[in-house]
Amino acid sequence: MSGAPMIELWRGGRLESAHLGHAVICDTTGQIVESWGDPTALIYPRSSCKMVQGLPLVESGAADAAGLEPRRLALACASHSGAAIHTDTVTRWLGDLGLSEADLRCGSHMPQDKPAQKGLVCSDTQPCQIHNNCSGKHSGFLTLTKHMKAGPEYVEIDHPVQRAVRAAFEDVTGEDSPGHGIDGCSAPNFATSVTGLARAMAAFAGADGKPGARAAAMVRLRDAMRAHPEMVAGEERACTNLMRATGGKVAIKGGAEAVYVAILPEAGLGVALKIVDGGTRASEAAIAALLVKLGVIEAGHPAIKAHLGTQRNWRGIETGEIRTAPGFA
């Protein structure tokens, strides 16, 4: 778990805090182009692999049978903010399936979207499972469950949906997963090496023109994310802002405990990184630095400077800087 120095916080000319991590860039043959830290480190991808968890939904034909348009496919890959555009879409989606909020198994939490929060707090309303950032992924699981005529407990490890997810995950990472943990949303999350996750992202990057349902599903999910960045996270969120800033060139996704991935179809590259301490500010800064390094966005773009550069306090006074560590990116 040692990791390479990746992101540093400076204050008053002194290093105040530092983050270590692992990062891998793979090409479409699955080979490592460049890496930092330990490329064999085992990680849980957490929400960064939602596009992999969405593969069985698309390649099974379930998505087409349910008439899922790209916005819903993007939402199936999302850790959304629970804004109205997200919750309205999930509500209609569940309705179209003949299901309801009670069929979800993700649990409830307060949405991250400020207007949605305000609406709930000021009306003394508790959030429901539709507000859960994973409710789009779970709607995808329910869509596949219905298509498979499987039972309602779709997050159980032996449920056909999770068996299909594991098979797809092991296939695209090129590794037998050593096992799983239970995610915040109660779904199994399969462990892989950082290289395995980067290899999976490179497979999404290089799927164009390849034969078969798997490749077609990869292109559809990846391109749905790039076409609808507002569905994948939300306003003021790094995923959405970085995808918008690259003008749709890159599909980007973060996960809890500081995992980040990027799919670069034009360059034929996949990226995965994990900050050892789980600090999201560092994983956002690290993926921003790698996107600059890979030439898909300028270092001076506001979406990059939000994560790397001058830090200011409540009165706007400069207090320090977030930087990449020497030797990283």
Determine the Cα angle at 231 with ends 225 and 232, to 5°.
55
Region of 71-79, 162-170, 172-180, 199-207 interacting with its own copies (CB under 8 A): 172-180
How many of the other CB atoms lie within 10 Å of CB of 65? 12
Query: Which of residues 174 and 184 has its CB atom nearest to its own copies in the complex?
Result: 184
Residue from the set 33, 34, 109, 235 that interacts with its own copies by CB under 8 A = 109
Binding residue for its own copies, selected from 105, 199, 237, 249, defined by CB under 8 A: 105
> For 127, phi and psi rounded to 5 degrees?
-65, 155
- Interface with its own copies includes 125 (CB under 8 A)? no
Q: Which is nearer to its own copies, 151 or 178 (CB)?
A: 178
CB of 19 to its own copies, least distance (A): 5
Residues 283 and 260: beta-carbon distance below 8 Å: yes
Residue from 209, 313, 326, 327 that binds its own copies (CB under 8 A)?
313
**Helix (H/G/I), strand (E/B), else coil: 154:** coil
- Quick one: 29 or 310, whose CB is closer to its own copies? 310
Q: How far is the CB of 314 from its own copies (least distance, A)?
A: 3
- Within 8 A by CB and 6+ apart from 208, the residues are 215, 219, 265
- Find the angle CA(122)-CA(128)-CA(129) to the nearest 5 degrees: 150
Residue 319 in contact with its own copies, rule: CB under 8 A = yes
Considering only residues 67, 122, 149, 302, which one is a binding residue for its own copies as defined by CB under 8 A? Answer: 122
Retrieve residue 55's tokens: 């593969």
SS3 state of residue 32? strand
Q: Please choose, out of 88-96, 204-212, 283-291, 318-326, the segment that lies near its own copies by the rule CB under 8 A.
A: 318-326
Compute how many other C-beta atoms are within 10 angstroms of the C-beta atom of residue 191: 18
Q: Using the rule CB under 8 A, is 320 a contact of its own copies?
A: yes
- Touching its own copies, residues 132-161 (CB under 8 A): 132
Q: Is 44 in the site for its own copies (CB under 8 A)?
A: yes
Least separation in angstroms between CB 49 and its own copies: 14
| DSSP for residue 325 | P
* Of 98 and 314, CB closest to its own copies: 314
Instruction: Please report the sign of the dihedral spanned by the C-alpha atoms of residue 111, residue 192, residue 140, residue 73.
Output: positive
User: Considering beta carbons, is residue 171 or 321 the nearer one to its own copies?
Assistant: 321
Does position 91 interact with its own copies (CB under 8 A)? The reply is: no
Rg, Å, the chain Cα set:
19
Cα(238)–Cα(229) distance, integer angstroms: 10
Q: Does 80 bind its own copies (CB under 8 A)?
A: no
The answer to whether 108 contacts its own copies (rule: CB under 8 A) is: yes
Exposed/middle/buried for 271, CB within 10 Å: 0-12, 13-18, 19+?
A: buried
Q: Least CB distance from residue 34 to its own copies, whole Å?
A: 23
Stretch binding its own copies (CB under 8 A), from 58-66, 185-193, 207-215, 299-307: 185-193
DSSP-derived 3-state class of residue 244: helix
**Pairwise CA distance, residues 29 & 268, whole Å:** 9
Residues that bind its own copies (CB under 8 A): 1, 9, 11-20, 42-44, 105-109, 117-118, 121-122, 132, 178-186, 189, 191, 257-258, 275-279, 282, 313-315, 317-320
